Amino acid sequence: MNPLGVKDTVTTKYMRQNEIFADAFNYFVYGGEQVINPESLEELDTREIDVPYGGEKGAKQPVQKTRDVIKSVIAMMDKRTAYLLLAIENQSNIHYAMPVKNMVYDALQYAKQVEEAAASHKLSGDYKGVDSDEYLSGFMKADHLLPVVTLVIYFASKEWDGPLSIHEMFAGQDARVLAFVPDYKINLIAPAAIEDSEFEKFQTTLKEVLSFIKYSGNADKLQEVIGIDEKFRHLGRNEVDVLNACVNANLTMKKGEEVLDVCQAIQTIADRAAEQKRMDTLLDNVKKLMERMGWSAEQSMDVLSIPESDRNSLAQRLK
C-alpha cells in the first residue's frame, strides 16, 4: 500500500470510533461542551452516487464518490431534539479544492434525502390529495432535510494554506456578481491553528494526537508537551498508527502490546539518535586520520582512544 493509502486507512479507522468522532464535533461545534453523545451515533453508508445530467448523447454513467466517515446523530440542544448528519474528511495533505470537494459531497447527500423522501411517498401512496406541484416535486411542503455538517481534519503539522471557501477560489471577480454566487465554507481542524489552551477542550486521545502532530517538528516543545500530559503514557495502537503514518513518529509497539508509553518511546528515540550521532562523529574522525596520515583503521582508533565496545561497529561500517 502506498504511503498516502496508509494515511487514509489509519486516520479513517481512528476517526470512525464514536468517542473520537463525537469529540471532534463537540470541540469544533460546541466549544468542548459534551452535546453529542457517542452512543447516539450511527454509522451510515459512506458511498454517494453522482448521477450526471444528460446531454444530446444521453447521460453518462453514474459516478460513485466515497466519504471517509458519515454518521447520523440525535442531539439535545436547548431542550430540543435535533437530528443531524455529521461527516468527517481526513486530510494528510492540503487539498486546494477542498471547498468544491465538500460541497459536492454535501449536495449529493441532500439530493439523496430528497430522492428517499420521494420514494417513501410513492411506496406509501400518500400523494393522493396533494397538489400538482408537490406531486411533481416528489418532496412535499411538510418534508424537511436533515442538516449535513462536514468537518475536515488535517493530520499534518504545517499550516493549512488552501482556500477555506468557494469565494476564495475565484480571482478578480466583480463583487456585485459574487454577491449572487452562494459561498460555501469548509469546517477545518488544523493542529497548527489550535492554541495550547484549546487542546483542553478535547476529551479523548484526539488531544494527544493533534498536539503531537502540531509540535512534531519541534523536539523541545514536543518533549515538554508530552511530559505534562499523563495520557501520553498510555497511548493506544490506533493513535500510534496515525502518528507513525502522518508525521513519521517512529514509535514502536511490541507485538501484542496495546498501549505505549510515548514519553519513554520518545526518550529511547532521542537516545538512539544521540548514539547514532556519536558513532557518526567517531567514524568521520577515523576516516580523516586514515586519509590524511595513511594509518590503518586500528591505528586511527588507537590514537583516538576509541573503546573496544565501539570498535567492532566502526570496523563494520569501514568495510
Among the ranges given (228-232, 233-237, 252-256), the one the predictor scored with the smallest mean pLDDT: 252-256
pLDDT classification of 53: cutoffs 50, 70, 90: very low
For the chain, what are the domain ranges?
3-203, 275-318
Q: Bridge partners of 182?
A: none
Contact of 251 with 262, CB cutoff 8 Å: yes
79 pLDDT above the threshold of 70: no
**Chain segment 191-219, per-residue pLDDT in tens:** 999 999 999 999 999 999 999 999 988 88
Dihedral, CA atoms, 252, 24, 28, 143, nearest 10 degrees? Answer: 150
Give the residue, 48 or 261, on which the prediction is more confident.
Answer: 261
Conformation bin of residue 296: beta by default, left when phi > 0, alpha when psi is -120 to 50: beta
Distance of CA 56 to the CA centre of its chain: 42
* pTM (predicted TM-score): 0.79
Strand partners, 74: 83
Please state, for a pLDDT cut of 90, what percent of the chain lies above it.
49
How far is residue 288's CA from residue 301's CA, in Å, rounded to a whole number? 11
Q: Which residues pair with 91 in a beta bridge?
A: 154
* Mean confidence (pLDDT) of the chain: 87
Measured in degrees and rounded to the nearest 5, phi and psi for residue 185 equal -105, 145
What per-residue confidence (pLDDT) applies to 219?
82
pLDDT tops 50 at residue 52 = no
Per-residue pLDDT band for 167 (boundaries 50, 70, 90) equals very high
Strand-strand pairing, 80-91 and 69-77: antiparallel
Per-residue cell: 252: 514502536
pLDDT of residue 87: 95
Question: Does 58 have pLDDT greater than 50?
Answer: no
